[in-house]
Amino acid sequence: MIGYATLGSNDLEKGAKFYDDFLGAFGGQRAISMDRIIFWNDAKGGAMLSLCIPYDEKTATPGNGNMLALAAESTDEVDAMYKKAIELGATDEGEPGARNEQFYGAYFRDLDGNKVCCFKFT
């Protein structure tokens, strides 16, 4: 159902480098690149992630309650995704761990402050 999710950026080049390195470590690659927006996908052909300079050219700001969730293949991959994001300069919003009997997740904020969750339903 979801085709793509978009996060805003105030420094597209810096943000793109973060997501190239982060998503690239887990099988993602750039699919479309234009002057103000970049899309990434994976070999599975599911929903894409995009990063853009806002169309209205105002400052990109993370929304309160907005979060992007990236599915992992295993809890070990959740751990690896979180570790990679932190290595690339993301900030911690919740270390990897079980949140309940059915959900294992980790949370970080990207270089623009967008909140991202890496998760595995267990």
Note whether residue 21 is domain-resident.
yes
Amino acid identity of 114?
N
Q: Per the structure, how many domains does the chain have?
A: 1
Write the CATH number for 37. Answer: 3.10.180.10
48 domain-assigned: yes
Question: Does residue 75 sit within a domain?
Answer: yes
Show the low-confidence residues of the chain (pLDDT under 70). Answer: none
Q: Is the residue at 71 inside a domain?
A: yes
Q: What is the pTM of this model?
A: 0.92
pLDDT of residue 45: 85
DSSP per-residue codes, the chain? ---EEEEE-S-HHHHHHHHHHHHHTTTEEEEEE-SSEEEEEETT---EEEEE--TT-SPP-PPTT--EEEE-SSHHHHHHHHHHHHHTT-EEEEEEEEEETTEEEEEEE-TT--EEEEEEE-
Its domain, for residue 113, covers: 4-55+65-121
Position 120 scores a pLDDT of 98
Is 60 part of a structural domain of the chain? no
Residue 88: what pLDDT?
A: 98
